[in-house]
Amino acid sequence: MSELARGLLVFGILLVGGIVSYVFFFRPFIVEQPQVENVINENSTWSVTMQEYLMHGPLAAETYRISNNNGKTTMFYSATNRAGTVTKEFTAPIVGPSGTFLFEDLRANGLWELDDRAVRPDPVDEYVIEVDQTLGDQGGTRSFSFSDPAFWATTHAKEFNLHLPAKGPISGTNGATMGVASHSLREPRYWTIVQEIRNFGSPSIAAAQMKIRSELADTLKHPIPPK
């Protein structure tokens, strides 16, 4: 084979290889790359806020808010003393992926599914939880409230369906079925979500929260006079 023929053969092989590479590899990449960049660069935010109202003790209310703005996570905490005269707060950055892990755990435990629960008689604590999320030009927000999550996590109470007669007195002999158990009222997810939000953060954040609680408790022993 002459040098010219050998050169043409090599050129042809390289040309075919280039065409195959473009058709099967480079062209799909060129088409999809703008879409990938749009996903990477689109606005992504979420926040979870828990407002806790305490019926007893030196604190009247606490607020926890974990926010993520395009990968940057912060935690906000505030508390108000029982007299309602002093509120203290702080905002701290969260380093690493722990905020994302928390959000995924909260979603798995019903953050977008749990509904309001009626406040129990003489509640110990009450909560309002709000979640807000955006991804690009789409998003959603919702909130739900409940009281005494520790009770709902441990109760043996059940909901009953009562079938009452259309006419006549209520008795067990007139064909009506009374007190048929429907389902258990136990629901541990409220308590799980409260614990996850309340315990989120580094040891330094937990120490700052305890410092605020202690300082607010001291304001009740030495009330600040009104201005």
Spatial separation of the C-alpha atoms in residues 111 and 100, rounded to whole Å: 14
Q: How do residues 191-209 score in pLDDT, each as one tens digit?
A: 999 999 999 999 999 999 9
The model's confidence at residue 5, banded by pLDDT at 50, 70 and 90, is low
| pLDDT one-digit tens code per residue, 100-144 | 999 999 999 999 999 999 999 999 999 999 999 998 777 899 999
Of 120, 115, 112, 75, nearest to 95 by C-alpha is 75
What's the pLDDT score for residue 62? 98
pLDDT tens sequence across 10-57: 566 766 666 766 666 656 655 555 444 444 446 899 999 999 999 999
Q: Are 225 and 118 in contact (CB under 8 A)?
A: no
Span 145-188, pLDDT tens digits: 999 999 989 987 777 666 666 665 655 544 444 555 567 788 99
Distance CA 106, CA 84 (A): 30
DSSP codes joined into one string, the chain: --HHHHHHHHHHHHHHHHHHHIIIIIHHHHHHHHHHHHHHHS-EEEEEEEEEEESSSSEEEEEEEEEEETTEEEEEEEEEETTSS-EEEEEEEE-STHHHHHHHHHHHTTTTT----PPPSS-SEEEEEEEEEEETTEEEEEEEEEE-HHHHHH---EEEE----SSS---TTSS----EEEEE---THHHHHHHHHHT-S-HHHHHHHHHHHHHHHHHHHSPPPP-
Looking at the DSSP bridge assignments, the partners of residue 140 are: 133
pTM, two decimals, is 0.72
- Looking at residue 27, its pLDDT comes to 61
pLDDT band at 6 (very low <50, low <70, confident <90, very high): low
